[in-house]
Amino acid sequence: MPMPATASPHNAEALAIQALGFVAADPVLLPRFLALTGIEATDIRRAAAEPGFLAGVLTFILAHEPTLTAFCEARDIDPAAVGRAQRALPGGDEHDQAST
């Protein structure tokens, strides 16, 4: 999914929803995501409607290079597009925190 140099909020949201689906389908990533965010799996739909949640999903993807690489390869997305999308969403910023 090619994304222009700046992401529209609509395109950024669509990418973040893809990322959420990617995380939710992975038996290793989902428990890690839930532990880091503190939300329950049953609350993901509700949380997805909250400002900042989708940016948080992309922050999670961006914070771990192997996860970013796997997501981008699976969806044929330029990794830079993920960062642009994260910054275009409410709660996104330019100071991604790396995790181990």
19-30 per-position pLDDT tens digit: 999 999 999 999
Rounded to whole angstroms, the Cα distance separating 32 from 26 reads 10
**What's the predicted TM-score (pTM) here?**
0.84
Q: What is the pLDDT of residues 62-97, one digit of tens each?
A: 999 999 999 999 999 999 999 999 999 998 875 444
Per-residue pLDDT, 9: 87
Closest CA to 56 of 81, 85, 27: 85
- Checking if the pLDDT of 1 tops 50, the result is no
DSSP 98: P
22-41 as b/e, with b when 16 or more CB fall inside 10 Å?
A: bbeebeebeeebbeeeebee
Per-residue pLDDT, 6: 61
